[in-house]
Structure 1
Amino acid sequence: MLRNFSALFLLLFVQITLAQNTEIIRGKIINSLDEQLENITIHLVETNTVVQTDSEGKFIFKNLAPGIYNLFAVYDGFNFPVETVVVVSGSVSEVILHLGTMNYSLEEVMLQTLTVSEKLKNSAIKADVIPVEANTRRANSVEDLVNKSPGVKIRNVGGLGSASNIIVGGFSGNAVKFLYDDIPIDYMGSNFGLTKIPTNAISRVEVYKGVLPTKIGVDALGSAINIVPKTSTKTSGTVSYETGSYNTHIATANANIKLNKNLFLGINSFYNYSKNDYKVDNLPYKDPGTGQVTYIRERLFHNGFNQHSLEFSLQARELTWADLIELKVNSYGLEKDIQNDQFSRARPFGEVYRKEHGNFIPSLKYKKHFFENKLSLNQFLVYSNLDFEIFDQAKNVYYDWKGISHKTNSGSEMGNILLKNGYLHNSFEQFTSRTNLNYLINNYFQIESNTVLSLYNRKSNTGDLNPEGTDYDKVITNLALNSQFFDQKLESNTQLKYLSGHFAGQYNASDNPLENDIVDREVTNSGVSFSQALKYNINPNSYIRASYENTFRLPEQQELFGDNNFIIANYELTPEESRNINLGYTYATIKYGFEINTYYRNTQNLIRLKDLNQYQAKYLNLDNVKGLGVELQANYEPVDNLLLSGNLTWNDFRLQSSRDKYLNNQHFKDARVANMPFYYGNLSASYNLKEILKLTSDFSFFWDYSYVHQYYLDYIEKQFEPDGFLGLFGTSKINTSRIIPNQHTHNAGFIYVRDFTKQSVSFSAELKNIFDADIYNEFKMQSPGRHFRVKITFSF
């Protein structure tokens, strides 16, 4: 089949290339903001090509077919209005683009950025674009912004810097992949996690659902999150300081320095600190005198987090041999107190903590267009060596929930017999290469290929079986055809993806921590996936999308090799596989818009962490799950400067079969997936008072509301689920405390911005969880109650 497809693909390529494109668009920039004319980026939407202006502000696009084209300029991180040009055969089309002050409210800037971002990507592929740069002045986090996106739910279990689990389009855990500027983010450890990275450090977040763009080349089951850094073509920068409850402090300093017309120096840094000492209910406390256990409310006393991150970049643009070449060096370190085990707060720890650092992470990026901008090359290389450490070196002591230490006969707090001498050190060495090639055949057909090669090596102070470390090599390569038909009304993306993972080594295959069953294995997992995405533009205000894919996800390092502590190795894991269908409709006008998206998933061999005994767990291919989901999103501007928006998500994913002995019986057939929210939504309102108060500066208020419907921590037989429409009404027919109840969260705040000639200062404040509601996340871990953040930002 592959051979026939390749022959058809080649024939189509030859036929299409016979078409001749000879027309030209010539233009010029008029910049009323400042004197900058050179190196301003101009985007041609229909061909997905980019050029830079010369010293006089001029630009040119060649080899175009007659038709209608849309252009826009990007300058200093802002996307300026789109200009439409009609290209007539036998003539040169002229256009002038104006850069001037844009009198948009914050919400209007958000909407415009989303629209432009949709044009930049392959629009047949579904994505929600979250314009973080428009929210950098708000005293909130990237996590907060992403969590308001339709179909997304982030469950944070401990405040700033804590671990979190994300649900996107019905997938969760490792099935959702994270990227930084289109590159799989694992080479940066957890440094750029959504609960850690400040808003000032990035430009936007792209949330992909269903078929993924060819350019990112990951083995997700159908969802991915791409964090896009800021870029600028002139000297600019931002400094901010944020503080809040629980002794929280966040500082950022970012700058882009133009050394000359081709050379730029970039600095991106941030620092996070928080004690995260919020109060928690129902903590078991054993009275040392009477031995009686009561449940108390106390502050978390060993839950602190601190992190530093520094990024330097040296970038050259518009050279004869490179459109862009960038050398970047990252360095980071973080330390996180471990207050309790990851599944409960049954027992506190007082001296256990973890460290993670990568002192020197160099990367190289190279971009170049060839053959009059028809062929583009984007090459990225990175090397990293990361250290992960766990410290549990307290001897013969345990802590109660009042933070008081007591003597005991046990050797360490965690009591895990696999943690030798109370210390664990894992080092991860990684090399990643990503090669993206894009060839524009003509205005209607484009070929793209993307190959990501990742070489991993992990060593551990407990790795006696593999003293030279354990190697894991992965390659993921995509080939895609992007097409347009019927006067650009129908857009198509067709992809073939090949995945392969190879690893070898020795491991203990015994499930008994007191026994050894040493096995020597060499394993290669591979798969081929196919996807087809279509978008049909009904009219300028509405379109429909549809896509199908069968996709694979290779097991991750930790899933295969464990963590040399609680999680033991399993070399028998096989890839997860899912068949997905997505269908959506979008309607948008200037004042209002709405979107509905539905999806169906049939997923086999889901990898799940399974407890084996008191001390150990193992990742296993356990569950087969299928079901469907619906997302609704709407926005409305009833009056100028007042923006209302909201979304709802309902998922109905159910267990079909399992290799888990507890679940593998007819009673749990069609049971809803446990420990996963299935109905949740958000509402937001914001109003800019600038015009009504006749202010010379921006002054905006905002309010956000979040709802999560109750869900169960364990599998509940379908016959015992609540009755009513979609299972949203009534109560369960069995009595269980293993439930996370309905949750309502309200946040409110304001932003004040004062602009000067070339600088601006802003002040914002936000009160989170206004009504101090009890908020729980997975495993019924309680999140912070009412708390506040304030932030001051200076930009130049």
Structure 2
Amino acid sequence: MKFIQVPVLLFLCTVFNAFTFAQEKQYGEVSGYVKDTFGNSVSNATISVQNGGESTQAEGDGFYKLERLPLRNQVVLVISAVGYSTETRTLHVADRKNILDVVLKEDRKAIDEVSVVGKSENERRIYDIKRSGFDVSVIDLNKYANEAANLTQVLKRATGVTIREDGGLGSNFVFRINGLDAKIFIDGVPMDNFGSSMSINNIPVNLIDRVEVYKGVVPAFLGSDALGGAVNIITKRRARPFLDLSYTTGSFNTHLASLVSTFTNPKNNLSFRMNAFYNHSDNDYMMYTQEKYGILLQNTINSKPITIDKARRFNDAFTSGMAQLEVGFRDKSWADQFYVGLSYSQDHKENQLGLSLSSVTGGKWSESNYLMPTLSYKKNNFIVDRLFADVYASYSHDIKHVKDTATYNYDWSGGWVSYSEPAIAATPQHTKFDVNNYLARVNLNYDFDAERNQSLNLNYNYNSGHRTEYDMIAAYNQVKLPSNLGRHIIGLSWQNQWFNKRLSNVLALKYYRLDANQVTDSRKYNGNNEVVSGEIAYDAKAWNYYSVSLASRYRITQDGGWKLSYERAYNLPTLEQLFGDGLNVTSNWDLKPERSDNVNTGFYYNTFINENHFINVDATGFYRLAADYIHSKAVQVDGDDVQQYYNEAGVKLYGFSAEVKYGYKDLIAVTINGSYDKAIDNKKYTDDTNQQVSLNYGYQLPNRPWAYGSMDVSLIQNDWFQKGTRVQLSYLSQYSHWFYLSEAHLGSLASKDHIPSQTIHSAVLSYSWSRNKYNISFEGRNLTDERAYDNFRLQKPGRAFYLKLRLSLM
């Protein structure tokens, strides 16, 4: 009986499979990429079947997929996008899976004529950026997906941007735009809330769709207190099933991995999104003595400092990891997007150096564990037509330990400071920081008409940080030292267009409030652990400010225009600037908010020659008067060199930047840019009596770059070995002019320490096949092994090589 049952079951299964297969074969699908003539993704393209059939939109990388097309039938597809000429393609649906890539030609006239009502959020944002008066550039990170780079390496190439690092992977950095402090956001949320593992020198490029770089005036919807500008990082959010995996290995025992995955159930629009990355590097690159610039590596033998030629960096490894899961719904009647998320990250950072080469440590390190639940909601036509709502809330808990477990002092040999005499004992340290952070953000945008000629935006941003510091070693003195920082920022902006959309304006008003308080313990103890002096003190203060800004753009010709913006803005101190980080930054309770009056102006020109050549020229200039300018300096605390933020009473900043881009089809792409910005001490008198002129008045501020630039040349070949392949060779060069570390006008020039001019050359060779599914790239950085220095003459890595493997499925 069993023998008979088996053939029967096999027959039934065969019939069922054949029936299912026949059912599935009734329909086919078509997918592909929509790009422009120069290989750029057209993320706002609509692909539809002619005469009212299926339709879809291309996503951030230009990919689209149309399903349920009649099998073995002929369909006509219509491909359109704002700013591009509409194309039609006739397709015979011969197989279940069909491929059709489309190239759209730009129609500059259509940019100002097409309404974007009903389009995606991504399309609306790109359209707003193009027509706004803000000095903003958009970087498509999909172009760099095959590079072994984090976001820092890409942003360094942007005009007017300086990112100053202390060393290799995971090192401390200072981020500025046109010489002023700039803020960083992820999907419109301040990056301060994401913990130390989520920073621009940790985030892989594969997690990001694009980056918006605002110079000068910042839109009110970001809720920012930035002076110099802001960076808004837009992460990948796909509606389709999507998986992107990458792994990189390279010099200094570097290992990098990233994952992006999205899935939406087409039946109920239940959506899942996961991001993750892992970074590690020993950062054990070679350091060199450069006596000409006062850069000395020294060991101590018989209590005497001995200069050595070179030494390998040690105790400087960095490891970080992050995982984020979001679950929610898309495209429902009650929400365009609704997600509940949970993020966890951790890092372990060894710390060999403070701010100088002499402060070498052998056992100092920090570690952080970070947890953050989130809630986000977005809806077009919220309550009433043309009202867009964006609501975000999060709570984060970060536990950070800063330790120095070494019981002796070290030098560049990697051993104790003395070999013939008893080693010098050091005092172990262990401080715990417990940080709780709350964030609430509401953004409402109302369009008065369908053409969006008049829009009103209201943004409210609340951020509260509570940090408790605890000495884990001084058991007899286990007093918690809390510090708190609360921010309220409200922005109201009116965006309008006049004269047939030739003139665009954004007028904004902002209100800032900052509340800070701290508990300090200045008690001193005798040998019996009895208090002999000092006390526990509580301090509190608050600031209220108002600001105004105006950003205008006037289109002079079809190809070019002029931008002008003005703002009075404020930069509020951060938790780290006020209270320190327990590692390399010490506190300064007297630090005040920075104020600046900023004027920015510039011209842009974009043109096409024979539809095969593209030229873009962008030139901007700025002038700023800053009061209580926040700067940093090196100070000594308990014998260690650390960084402290302080206020310069008055600073005048001015400069200009220019960028030229050239493209020939999707074969050649060239970008060259340069920036010049001066920061002059503008405080004339040393006190309010106006009796004595300051020695620094009228002179350049030290320890900051003032002339820098970059060049990027790429050669591309598609379908070289077989159809669906892509080969790209990119040459990258970055230049930074020398600058003084201290006041150049005090003392002889020969005695002044300065950072030398430096040019870094790098190259990337990548190969993709099976239509970007499989990717491999080889990257060489600092090919000439240039001695590269930055903050306080700390040397950065020399020549390095990396191999990256990437898999992209959809």
- Fold-level match, TM-score > 0.5? yes
- Alignment partner, residue 210 of structure 1: 216
- Alignment partner, residue 608 of structure 1: 631
Deviation track 1:304-338 (CA, whole Å, cap 9, x = no partner) reads 11111101111301222212101111100000110
Deviation track 1:94-152 (CA, whole Å, cap 9, x = no partner) reads 998999514699xxxxxxx9999642436221212111122111222221111001111
1:586 and 2:620 matched: no
Corresponding residue SS for 2:682: strand
Looking at structure 2, the residues matched to 44 and 389 of structure 1 have their Cα atoms a distance apart, in angstroms, of 46
Note the C-alpha offset of 1:692: 6.9
Looking at structure 1, the residues matched to 327 and 768 of structure 2 have their Cα atoms a distance apart, in angstroms, of 31
Looking at structure 1, the residues matched to 29 and 507 of structure 2 have their Cα atoms a distance apart, in angstroms, of 40
Specify which of 534, 555, 577 is matched with residue 595 of structure 2: 577
1:644–1:515 Cα change, 3 Å: farther
Corresponding residue SS for 1:595: strand
The alignment of Structure 1 onto Structure 2 pairs a total of residues equal to 700
- Alignment partner, residue 101 of structure 1: 101
- Alignment partner, residue 400 of structure 1: 411
Corresponding residue SS for 2:221: helix
1:747 and 2:762 matched: yes
Looking at structure 1, the residues matched to 175 and 53 of structure 2 have their Cα atoms a distance apart, in angstroms, of 45
Retained in 2: the 8 A contact 1:140–1:789?
Answer: no
Specify which of 533, 538, 553 is matched with residue 520 of structure 1: 538
- Alignment partner, residue 33 of structure 1: 31
Deviation track 1:463-499 (CA, whole Å, cap 9, x = no partner) reads 9798473332211000010000001110010000000
1:583–1:372 Cα change, 3 Å: same
Specify which of 586, 599, 609 is matched with residue 622 of structure 2: 599
Looking at structure 2, the residues matched to 789 and 361 of structure 1 have their Cα atoms a distance apart, in angstroms, of 32
1:84–1:555 Cα change, 3 Å: closer
The amino acid across from 1:101 in the alignment is D
1:566–1:278 Cα change, 3 Å: closer
1:521–1:698 Cα change, 3 Å: same
Looking at structure 2, the residues matched to 565 and 198 of structure 1 have their Cα atoms a distance apart, in angstroms, of 25
- Alignment partner, residue 219 of structure 1: 225
- Alignment partner, residue 441 of structure 1: 448
Looking at structure 2, the residues matched to 43 and 703 of structure 1 have their Cα atoms a distance apart, in angstroms, of 27
Corresponding residue SS for 1:551: strand
Corresponding residue SS for 1:573: coil
User: Rg bigger for which structure?
Assistant: 2
Corresponding residue SS for 2:148: coil
1:147 and 2:160 matched: no
* Residues 14-33 of structure 1 aligned to structure 2 (within 5 Å): 32-33=30-31
- Alignment partner, residue 245 of structure 1: 251
Note the C-alpha offset of 1:760: 0.9
1:328–1:660 Cα change, 3 Å: farther
The amino acid across from 2:509 in the alignment is L
- Alignment partner, residue 627 of structure 1: 653
Root-mean-square deviation over aligned CA pairs: 3.6
- Alignment partner, residue 711 of structure 2: 683
1:301–1:503 Cα change, 3 Å: closer
Moved more, 482-491 or 199-208: 199-208
Note the C-alpha offset of 1:295: 2.6
- Alignment partner, residue 192 of structure 1: 198
Looking at structure 2, the residues matched to 629 and 752 of structure 1 have their Cα atoms a distance apart, in angstroms, of 40
Note the C-alpha offset of 1:252: 1.2
1:249–1:676 Cα change, 3 Å: same
1:494 and 2:507 matched: yes
Retained in 1: the 8 A contact 2:761–2:781?
Answer: yes
Looking at structure 1, the residues matched to 660 and 123 of structure 2 have their Cα atoms a distance apart, in angstroms, of 15
Note the C-alpha offset of 1:769: 0.9
* Residues 371-520 of structure 1 aligned to structure 2 (within 5 Å): 373-395=385-407, 397-405=408-416, 411-412=425-426, 422-442=429-449, 443-462=452-471, 467=480, 469-507=482-520, 516=534, 519-520=537-538
Corresponding residue SS for 2:304: coil
Corresponding residue SS for 2:263: strand
1:791 and 2:804 matched: yes
Deviation track 1:187-241 (CA, whole Å, cap 9, x = no partner) reads 1122221211111111122211111012110111131111111011110111111
Note the C-alpha offset of 1:575: 1.6
Retained in 2: the 8 A contact 1:607–1:623?
Answer: no
Corresponding residue SS for 2:683: strand
- Alignment partner, residue 140 of structure 2: 131
Looking at structure 1, the residues matched to 738 and 179 of structure 2 have their Cα atoms a distance apart, in angstroms, of 17
1:499–1:76 Cα change, 3 Å: closer
- Alignment partner, residue 281 of structure 2: 274
1:765 and 2:749 matched: no
- Alignment partner, residue 549 of structure 2: 531
Corresponding residue SS for 2:743: coil
1:304–1:491 Cα change, 3 Å: same
1:775–1:325 Cα change, 3 Å: same
1:565–1:308 Cα change, 3 Å: closer
- Alignment partner, residue 729 of structure 1: none
The amino acid across from 1:348 in the alignment is V
- Alignment partner, residue 549 of structure 1: 567
TM-score when normalising by structure 2: 0.80
Note the C-alpha offset of 1:619: 3.8
* Residues 52-131 of structure 1 aligned to structure 2 (within 5 Å): 73-75=57-59, 77-78=61-62, 83=81, 100-102=100-102, 118-121=126-129, 123-131=132-140
- Alignment partner, residue 346 of structure 1: 358
Corresponding residue SS for 1:637: strand
1:709–1:653 Cα change, 3 Å: same
Note the C-alpha offset of 1:570: 4.1
Looking at structure 1, the residues matched to 270 and 62 of structure 2 have their Cα atoms a distance apart, in angstroms, of 21
Corresponding residue SS for 2:58: strand
Note the C-alpha offset of 1:44: 8.8
Note the C-alpha offset of 1:598: 0.4
Note the C-alpha offset of 1:406: 5.3
Deviation track 1:547-605 (CA, whole Å, cap 9, x = no partner) reads 00001122211232334577554444332100000001000123211110001110001
- Alignment partner, residue 201 of structure 1: 207
Note the C-alpha offset of 1:409: 6.2
1:52–1:399 Cα change, 3 Å: farther
Retained in 1: the 8 A contact 2:44–2:82?
Answer: no
Retained in 1: the 8 A contact 2:328–2:337?
Answer: yes
Looking at structure 1, the residues matched to 733 and 586 of structure 2 have their Cα atoms a distance apart, in angstroms, of 41
1:456–1:692 Cα change, 3 Å: closer
The amino acid across from 1:710 in the alignment is W
TM-score when normalising by structure 1: 0.81
1:553–1:74 Cα change, 3 Å: same
Retained in 2: the 8 A contact 1:584–1:597?
Answer: yes
Corresponding residue SS for 1:560: helix
The amino acid across from 1:288 in the alignment is I
Looking at structure 1, the residues matched to 574 and 348 of structure 2 have their Cα atoms a distance apart, in angstroms, of 24
Corresponding residue SS for 2:153: helix
Note the C-alpha offset of 1:297: 0.3
- Alignment partner, residue 652 of structure 1: 678
Retained in 2: the 8 A contact 1:114–1:129?
Answer: no
Note the C-alpha offset of 1:504: 3.0
1:743–1:526 Cα change, 3 Å: same
Retained in 2: the 8 A contact 1:431–1:455?
Answer: yes
1:234 and 2:234 matched: no
Segments of 5+ residues of structure 1 without an aligned counterpart are 1-29, 36-41, 60-71, 87-93, 106-112, 416-420, 721-732
Retained in 1: the 8 A contact 2:470–2:478?
Answer: no
Looking at structure 2, the residues matched to 518 and 619 of structure 1 have their Cα atoms a distance apart, in angstroms, of 24
Looking at structure 1, the residues matched to 778 and 457 of structure 2 have their Cα atoms a distance apart, in angstroms, of 45
The amino acid across from 2:676 in the alignment is W
Segments of 5+ residues of structure 2 without an aligned counterpart are 1-27, 34-41, 65-78, 91-98, 106-120, 290-295, 525-531, 609-613
